[in-house]
Structure 1
Amino acid sequence: MDQIDMNILQQLQGNAKISMKELAAAVHLSSPAVIERVRKLEEQGVIEGYHAKLNLTKIERTIQAIILFKSIDCKSLAAFCKGHPDVLECYRVAGEISYIVKLATYSVETLEQFIDAAMPYGTPSTNIILSSMEKMVITPFSDDY
């Protein structure tokens, strides 16, 4: 991956809806050259997809939480989280805590319902998110680092 590929990735992360013509101008290449580079990045799995980022507040998911689990049944907890509509992310981790779950839900009551339903799979520790910062552009490592 060269500097041009890294610039393409940076541009796409900033605006996944950018046209190939605009992307070509931003990275100083022809449109066919940029199209070919993007196609190769997709084929290599560097670009996994293009997604719409939703405003959770506008879809009434105003309660966000991080829940730490000391799981007694890891596979069942993972399956439960995968099937639950409020779960945004679920990580199996090493250490005293076995799972970290991030969710966005409608109310404190629906958060309580999630916790109650998850209790058979382990002991939860709930942390309500007050504010957050999300890094939107990830810079790939280069040989210079």
Structure 2
Amino acid sequence: MDQIDTEILQQLQQNAKISMKELAATVHLSSPAVIERVKKLEEQGIIEGYRAKVNLKKINRDIQAIILFKSIDCKSLSNFCNAHPDVLECYRVAGEISYIVKIATNSVETLEQFIDDAMPYGTPSTNIVLSSTEKTVITPFSDKNLEE
């Protein structure tokens, strides 16, 4: 990956709907050259897909929580989380805690119901999200970054 690929990645992360013509102008290449580079980034698995960012509050998911689990049945907890519509992310981690789950739901009652339903799989510790920030552009490490 060179500097142009890095710039292409940054532009696509900021606006995945950018036209190839506009992207080409931004990185100072022809449209066919940019299309080829984007295709290679996709084939290499660097670009995994394109997604719409959804405003959770506007779809009635006002309550977000991070729930830490000391699991007694990791596989069942993972299956439960993967099937549950309120779960946004589920991480199996090493240490005293075995899972970290992020959910977005519409009420304290549905949060309580999620916790109750998850109890057979482990002991939860619930943290309500008051505010958050999210990095929207991730810059790849280059050889130069690694030398510093």
**Shared fold by TM > 0.5?**
yes
Could you say which residue in structure 2 is the equivalent of 1:118? 118
Name the Cα RMSD after superposition: 0.3
Deviation at 1:105, TM superposition (A): 0.1
Distance 2:140 2:25 in 1: 21
Distance 1:75 1:25 in 2: 49
Q: Give structure 1 regions of 4+ aligned residues with deviation exceeding 3 angstroms.
A: none
Distance 1:80 1:29 in 2: 47
| Secondary structure at the counterpart of residue 13 of structure 1 | helix
Distance 1:138 1:4 in 2: 15
**Per residue, is there more helix in 1 or in 2?**
2
Deviation at 1:66, TM superposition (A): 0.0
Distance 2:68 2:116 in 1: 14
Structure 1, unpaired ranges of 5+: none
Deviation at 1:122, TM superposition (A): 0.1
Could you say which residue in structure 2 is the equivalent of 1:77? 77
Could you say which residue in structure 2 is the equivalent of 1:109? 109
Q: Output aligned runs, 1:55-66, within 5 Å.
A: 55-66=55-66
TM-score, length-scaled by structure 2: 0.98
Deviation at 1:3, TM superposition (A): 0.4
Distance 1:53 1:15 in 2: 11
| Secondary structure at the counterpart of residue 65 of structure 1 | strand
TM-score, length-scaled by structure 1: 1.00
Could you say which residue in structure 2 is the equivalent of 1:94? 94
Could you say which residue in structure 2 is the equivalent of 1:32? 32
Determine whether 1:131 maps to 2:131. Answer: yes
Structure 2, unpaired ranges of 5+: none
Identity of aligned residues (%): 84
